[in-house]
Structure 1
């Protein structure tokens, strides 16, 4: 849906907690984005910390390697219903695409799972460097979608360990041709595998 009644506002995810009336430096990637968009002092931006806090801000100064933003009023966005996505480790590009879509749809936790077929995939999405790429892709998706919550990213676990995690009240395995899940169970804070 187009917003014709107001100009678009650029949104940035910041690393620190937002405090009304403070001045913050944007992370390097966000500062680069602001320069590419030819933003200048006085431009209004939207900020989120990825933990449910949103704020409006005004660019105070913009230099070659830094952008300072004055933080306005803070709004707290309540968290969504918990939805943890267990993702089989697979092709890097497909996993990055899925991380982006999961963030846009409001998934609350990202749990990569090493399955039997995961070991045959090359190049596969695992490791510390890949985890940083997943986080960067999620930040970009959060900025684009206007969300306020970044998914919690967990380390890779074996599929058996993920299936036996006692902290989750319910787990559902999504499989083509399987019977439908009762909506009352799905809304009870369940994890989805």
Structure 2
């Protein structure tokens, strides 16, 4: 996102929030919240309310978005949101329904399926996520976003904050996927799965 558009969005947020309008999420995340690779905005439609609230809290508290330009943009947005505005945004997004993001990466989904069982203990047999473990759904997520996040966990760019216990666990798990190609294959496989309703 260019800096002029970001500035305009940030200036508009208090007015939008004050009018209980949560639609500003769609500016970056697309008309049905299924993601927009152009501005590195992932698919929100597959994410349940508990996860969205937790991540918005993390962005607002500063343990999400460190060292990542797009994450810093999201942190700036989250810091303008009260708990009420977060709930309004989550409710609005839930009303849009669940949509699988379009695939963008070249990879081998069959190889990704072979790799996935090491993730299933936390994220569920079908990538549906497990709230008890604070592990989000992965099925139907943007493949480019999954790939980017796996690399960030592996390379220590995400999950390092002391208050991000799930991120620290994920950082260790990402080390099991050594190569970029394995991460790409896993991301392509997960993207092709049907996102579960929530």
Name the TM tier (shorter chain). under 0.3
**Structure of higher RCO (CA pairs closer than 8 Å, 6+ residues apart):** 2
Give the strand-richer structure, 1 or 2: 1
More helix by share: 2
Q: Structure 1 length normalisation: TM-score?
A: 0.26
